[in-house]
Every structure is written in C-alpha cells, then in structure tokens.
Amino acid sequence: MPQNPEKIQDHVELFHQPEYKQLFQNKKQFENGHEGEEVERVAEWTKSWDYREKNFAREALTVNPAKACQPLGAIFAAVGFEGTLPFVQGSQGCVSYFRSHLTRHYKEPFSGVSSSMTEDAAVFGGLQNMIDGLANSYQLYKPKMIAVCTTCMAEVIGDDLQSFINNAKEAGSVPQDFPVPYAHTPSFVGSHITGYDNMMKGILSNLTAGHKKETSNGKINFIPGFDTYVGNNREIKRIASLFGLDYTLLADNSDYLDSPNTGEFDMYPTATKLEDAADSINAIATIALQSHSTLKTREYIEKEWKQPTAVCRPWGIKGTDELLMKISELSGLPIPEELENERGRAVDAMTDSHSWIHGKRFAIFGEPDLVYCVVGFMLEMGAEPVHILVHNSNDVFEAEMKELLASSPFGRNATLWPGKDLWHMRSLMFTEPVDFLVGNTYGKYLWRDTKIPLVRIGYPIMDRHHLHRYATIGYQGIINLLNWTVNTLFEEIDRNTNTPSKTDISYDLIR
C-alpha cells in the first residue's frame, strides 16, 4: 500500500491504520479460527499446572529455543581478527540470517559471504562453490584472512573443508600462503557457543602453526568467549593496561561491532593483529573469560601449545577478584590501587541497592556462561533464583551451577531446567511466578504475557539500543548490572502505582 514518503510511519503505528485493520479483518475468513471466547478459554488453560505437565511432556517439538546455531558463533569469532572475512559454505539464506541477527543486535553492518550453494551443490557437493567463492571473496574484498565455516547443507552432504580449501588453492583462488582457517559447524548439533569454540580453535591452530619458540614472549592471552558486550573487551584491555601487562586479546571484535562513524566505510576495523595471534602460542598462559564457549580451544592450547590455561569469569565481586588475583599471580604484578578503589565503589553501589534486590525471586534463561555469571552476581545481592533455564546445557554446567547454588543460602530453592525452551519458561512463570525475569529480547513476550518485568541481559537485545556498548565484567560492570536490575524493579513499582488516589497513595518520589 502506498505511503506518503514525507510521512513514513514505524510499523508500530503503520499497522493500526484503517487499511491494515481492514486487511487483517479480511484475512480471518480464510483462517478458520475459533471464536474469541474459545481462544480466551484455551489461553487461560495454558497458564495452568495441568497444561504445564503436558507442555513438559513434549519431546519432538521445540518452541522458541533459547539458543542460536553454530555458524553464528563462528562468524562472530572470526571478525575479531585483523582483516578477516567470514565465509560460510552453504546457502545465501543461512548467511543472511546470521548477518542480520548480529546487525539487529549491534545496529552495525556485519560482513560475511556465502558460497551460495543451491540444489545442484546439495546433490553433487560444494567444491566448485568453494573454488569460485574464495576467488571472488579474495579479489573483491581484499581480506587478510578468510575464515570458513559450514551450514547444515554442507555438513549433511559431507563437504570436506580441508580438502576443498586445498583444491581451491591449487586452482589459484587464493595464494598458497594465504590463511584460510576453517571450522565444521553443523547447525543440527551444539549451538552458537559451540560454533565460536570450533572457529576459535580453527583460527588459532592455523595462525600459530610453525611459530612455537623456545622462550616465552612474556604475554598473557585473554579469550573473551561468546561475549556480545563490546564494553567487556574494552574493560579487559583497560584492566590489563592498569596492570602494565603485556597481553594479547583473542580476539578483539569491539571496534568491528562498535565502529566510529567517520563518514567512510571501513570493512575491516581494528582487531587482533594476525602476527600477535600467531605469537600467542608463546605466551605465559591463556585466561578464558568464559568456560563453555572455549572448551575445545583450551584443550587444544594445553595439549598442543603445552601452555597452561585458566577460566576466570569476572562478573560480580568474587569473579572479578579471582581474575585480578590470577593476573597478579601469573605476571608477578601488584593489583593497581585504582582497581582497589573501583572495588570499593562497586561494593558501595551494591550496598545502596541491596535492600531492593535482596529476597527478590527471579527466573533466568540464556547460554551457560552468562547464566552462571548472572546468577553468581544475583546471589551476591541476596536475590533468590527460582527457575534457571539453559537450552544448550551440559553435565559440566549443571554440576558447577548446583555447586554455586549450594554455596549460598539464597540459591537452595532454585531448579535447573536444562534443554528446555521459552515456551517451557512461560509455563513456569505462570505456575510459579517470580519478581523478575533475566534474559534477552525474546523474553519480551513472556513479560507481556505474564506481567513479570524483564531485565535485559544477554544476546540478542534488539529492542533496546546501546546496552551492548556497556561492560558487564569487572567492578565497572557490577554498577551497570545493578543499574539495569534495580531500575527495572523501580519502573515496575511505578507502573503499579500510577493511578491517582487508588494505587498512588503515598509520597514515593524517593527510592
């Protein structure tokens, strides 16, 4: 339907226009829908314990999974390296989804190419697509490295990436010495954190080959993991700089995902230099800031590089303390006074807000590392987790989460819901309500349905701007987490006390 180009309306307003209302009304005659009374009856029933039992009995259906697929994590890892172009061996539709999903979160263009596999490639294999695709990518976009991953189609037909890349180099698609690391990332197993891990291992094994030296370079490596807060990369660099530490961040995608608007497009903003990544094999140690998105990478580093690794998840006071002490232990450098002062300010902020969070019951969903870290922070504030839902869970995560919950009197009534989706979470929140929910944008519909306020933490966050620019790690991150949590609770109080002389019956200007 034509619009006045001088009065373009947002979809929120557009679909309330008379012509759209009529369009929706006309559609109903073809939908064979039930009467409104029956819809309302069934909707109410879906909030009951009876429906919850039926909901949790389903096995062959997933409704709104709380995870993404492997290639998304793989291309996210790739862009943290200098001049790197992600290349997806699969269909155009798949890579378009990955790019758009990340773009909607960051409000930044996300570059990535596809081998454009179609029905022919699905039958005969994607070798020619790889040969042509690498040649075009190298000539058109002038990358310093092309990182290849796969989609379901390529995995189902059994495309061998190592063989395909070798054949493409023999055909002259790219120079023989041009780095083309790869990772097999089938979407039908694992999740985005598995894809991140596979690609990180693939890139590091490619770049570091032949670079092992007899002596250490004196550096410490940091691997952020699948962490979508660009402020966290900048925070870890700031912390390392305060120590005076020589370090390498594997990999730094903060400028790629939060680039300055200078009026000129830069396809490859500043990232971890390839020579620094190649030399990471000679570091003193590697510290991973997440556990479950770095499992294979850490195993590879320990086995092949003979380099010690550690996991330090610096969320909350305890987690940040552990990271700083580990850096001090490995480097021999004292913890800077500035960071000690920041700790004091974080504790002061927690003291200011604890009375509003203490004793509040909450539910949470997300990937394993994020959920573990947020629950740990909430326990420090005295909040009580009730429902902990991790779709891409595993036995190691469940064991460490149970240990964390048992360590605090506020965590002993929590229930873990591994492998469940957000439609399961809906049943939980209706039958066992909580004071607030923690999760990404997909929790918005749970909030609308259940009226339980949503604290937006995680990935993706597509309906709020700029949250990804903040830090959630370190003592600075504590204050941001406090801000989002306690102010969400205040907003809910205000929503429930906004009727003059009825719900608004006290002077509540000050909190």
List active site positions: 152, 156
Triad 428, 494, 481: Cα angle to 5°: 65
Could you tell me which residues come within 8 angstroms of residue 242 by beta carbon, excluding any fewer than 6 positions away? 336, 338, 339
Pairing of strands 84-89, 113-114: parallel
Distance CA 454, CA 371 (A): 15
Residue 424: which residues within 8 A CB-CB, separation 6 or more? Answer: 55, 56, 389, 417
N- to C-terminal Cα separation, the chain: 49
CA dist 340 and 345 (Å) reads 9
In sequence order, the β-bridge partners of residue 456 are 439
Give bridge partners of residue 86 from the DSSP assignment.
147
| CB burial of residue 321 (10 Å; 0-12, 13-18, 19+) | middle
Among the listed residues 431, 425, 488, the one whose alpha carbon sits nearest the alpha carbon of residue 455: 488
Amino acid at 263: G
In the numeric block, which tokens belong to residue 20?
Answer: 């759209």
3-class DSSP state of 6: coil
